[in-house]
Amino acid sequence: PVTVFENKEIASRKVAERIAAIIRRKQEAGEMAVLGLATGATPIGVYEELVRMHKEEGLSFQNVITFNLDEYYPMKPKSVQSYVYFMKEHLFDHVDIKKENINIPDGTLPKDEIHDYCLRYEQKITDAGGLDFQVLGIGRTGHIGFNEPGSAPNSGTRLVTLDDLTRRDASRDFGGKENVPTKAITMGIGTIFKAREIVLMAWSGKKAPIIKKAVEGSMSSDVPATFLQNSENVEFVLDKDAASELT
């Protein structure tokens, strides 16, 4: 299903409310809420709203376990471009989540340890009970996480090569495309699909052409987000501009 909102502020609030409802329901049941999280510009409003709910409404993250979708490789966690830094800045430093419950792919591993590490990341999600909710953005290549064109629908967590367009889109954060890492560790499409609820968000006319392909184009690994079509538990949450090319 596709839901179009007047603007990203309203849409972000709705998504944050859904996440908060899961956290509260799990709290009442004495269980952990397991969240799959994305970085980038798109989910910032959702995290802002969750922080506000924590500060003003007492929403607690004590029973929350998080797994981030991806991290650049190589990447030091302290670097300002790291997704560790992003998540701390936008969410983790402002709520009461336990450090040991935060999981973000490790961009510092030696290459020959990555394969086993990715299997363990996957297993850790399973051991936590699986993802209750997965937040997604979409890249202009159609990537979800860093599953670039060519990614298989049953792919797992792994080291991938970033598309040239993805590196160009990231160039401002790195002061030039040549500084953007060529690789990343990402959850796979198969990993994402195991989540019980998935919300893909997109804002602005810049995303309108890829949203049209993702929602209405034929399902193909050329546009990995098309694999989300026809899934009962997937919702595309858009602002008017991102939805402007949909028929």
Q: Which residues are catalytic?
A: 148
Q: Give the integer Cα–Cα distance in Å for 71 and 86.
A: 11
Residues at the contact surface with ligand F6R, assessed by CB under 6 A: 38-42, 69-70, 137-139, 143-146
Q: Which is nearer to ligand F6R, 70 or 122 (CB)?
A: 70
Smallest distance, ligand F6R to C-beta of residue 69, A: 4
- List helix spans (H) across the chain: 8-28, 44-57, 83-90, 111-127, 164-169, 171-174, 189-193, 208-216
Smallest distance, ligand F6R to C-beta of residue 58, A: 28
Smallest distance, ligand F6R to C-beta of residue 94, A: 19
Q: Which is nearer to ligand F6R, 138 or 180 (CB)?
A: 138
**Burial class of residue 55, CB neighbours in 10 A (0-12, 13-18, 19+):** exposed
From the centroid of its chain, how far is CA 217? Answer: 22
Q: Give the integer Cα–Cα distance in Å for 9 and 209.
A: 21
Does 105 sit behind a cis peptide bond, omega within 30 degrees of 0 on the bond before it?
A: no
Q: Which is nearer to ligand F6R, 101 or 151 (CB)?
A: 151
- Contact by Cβ (8 Å): 233, 196: yes
Q: What stretch of H or E contains 200?
A: strand 198-202
Q: Which is nearer to ligand F6R, 63 or 189 (CB)?
A: 189
Record the tokens describing residue 104, joined without a space: 């973000």
- Contact by Cβ (8 Å): 147, 220: no
Q: Which is nearer to ligand F6R, 26 or 85 (CB)?
A: 85
Q: What angle do CA 150, 155, 158 make, to 5 degrees?
A: 95
Nearest position to ligand F6R, beta carbon: 137
Smallest distance, ligand F6R to C-beta of residue 129, A: 22
- Contact by Cβ (8 Å): 50, 59: yes
Which residue is listed with tokens 């002061």? 175
Smallest distance, ligand F6R to C-beta of residue 135, A: 9
